[in-house]
Amino acid sequence: MSSGDPEGGRGAVHVVDDDEAVRRSLAMLLRSAGMAVRTHPSALAFLDALPSLGEGDIGCVLTDVRMPGMDGLQMLRQLRAQGFAKPVIVMTAHGDIATAVQAMKAGALDFIEKPFDDEALLAALDAALAAPAPEAPPPAAPPADPAASEAAARIAALSPREREVLELLTAGKPNKVIAHELGISPRTVEVHRARMMERLGARSLAEAVRLALRAEQVAAAPRPPG
């Protein structure tokens, strides 16, 4: 495990990945951006190190999903069950939206698709390091916030068919399966998908999925008595 002094008291980014080359390259990238980094070769290694880490030693966790032994999702669920409240970002394979959705519903702050863009990764980590710690482990449907309300408004502006396409995409289904379920052609799915992305202002499917999940927070939040 390698370490560095936390910058500005934000704590270190703890990278959990079984690939040594990935750990090394991420450590170099994050240090070049002024972030303190500690690396762990497995989920169990991080969990074993956790009791010896102080509150200020951890800024956030960046973990791969597919690892031998305990995978990233299992680790995330165990951390949340233990009351671990620091932000967690998961790294998923490109197009593995179903896993990304599972991770966010399990309490991940965000997800990054591999191969990732360096600037997008650093921006996500900056946001995680700046995020206030929740008072309790996040439930499956966290309380609504302004960002969630804005996301809900964007989703509401979609056409019924665009919302159907987004819902099925969020479930991890490819265009051909969506076309079959909706009784339309794959080309028509692509058209609806492009329009949906444009209306949401999303540059990638990952962004569209984040908006959909945040909109769910509003739908799931208890309404005040009135």
Using a pLDDT cut of 90, give the percent of the chain over it: 51
- Given 130, 163, 185, the domain boundary residue is 130
Same domain, yes or no, for 101 and 163? Answer: no
**In the chain, helix, strand, coil percent, each to 5?**
55, 10, 35
pLDDT over 90 (residue 192)? yes
Kindly state whether residue 33 falls inside one of the protein's structural domains: yes
- Given 105, 130, 155, the domain boundary residue is 130
Domain that residue 102 falls in: 7-130
Contact 213, 101 (CB under 8 A): yes
Distance, in Å, from the CA atom of 217 to the CA atom of 142, rounded to the nearest integer, reads 6
Same domain, yes or no, for 97 and 11? Answer: yes
Q: Which of 19-28, 81-90, 110-119, 127-136 has the lowest mean pLDDT?
A: 127-136
Same domain, yes or no, for 104 and 17? Answer: yes
Question: 115: cis peptide before it, omega within 30°?
Answer: yes
pLDDT over 90 (residue 205)? no
Count structural domains, the chain: 2
Kindly state whether residue 121 falls inside one of the protein's structural domains: yes
- Nearest by Cα to 161 from 201, 199, 200, 196: 196
Distance, in Å, from the CA atom of 143 to the CA atom of 218, rounded to the nearest integer, reads 7
* Beta-carbon count within 10 A of 145 CB: 13
Same domain, yes or no, for 47 and 121? Answer: yes
Same domain, yes or no, for 122 and 185? Answer: no
Same domain, yes or no, for 118 and 84? Answer: yes
Q: Which of 42-51, 56-65, 85-94, 142-151 has the lowest mean pLDDT?
A: 142-151
Same domain, yes or no, for 151 and 117? Answer: no
Of residues 206 and 149, more confidently modeled? 149
User: Could you read off the pLDDT of 95-154 as tens digits, one per residue?
Assistant: 677 888 888 888 888 888 888 889 989 998 998 898 765 544 444 444 446 777 888 889
Same domain, yes or no, for 53 and 118? Answer: yes
Q: Which residue has the tokens 């998961």?
A: 90
Q: Which residue has the tokens 């002094």?
A: 5
DSSP assigned state of 33: T
Distance, in Å, from the CA atom of 216 to the CA atom of 198, rounded to the nearest integer, reads 20
- Given 87, 105, 130, the domain boundary residue is 130
Model pTM score:
0.73
Kindly state whether residue 135 falls inside one of the protein's structural domains: no
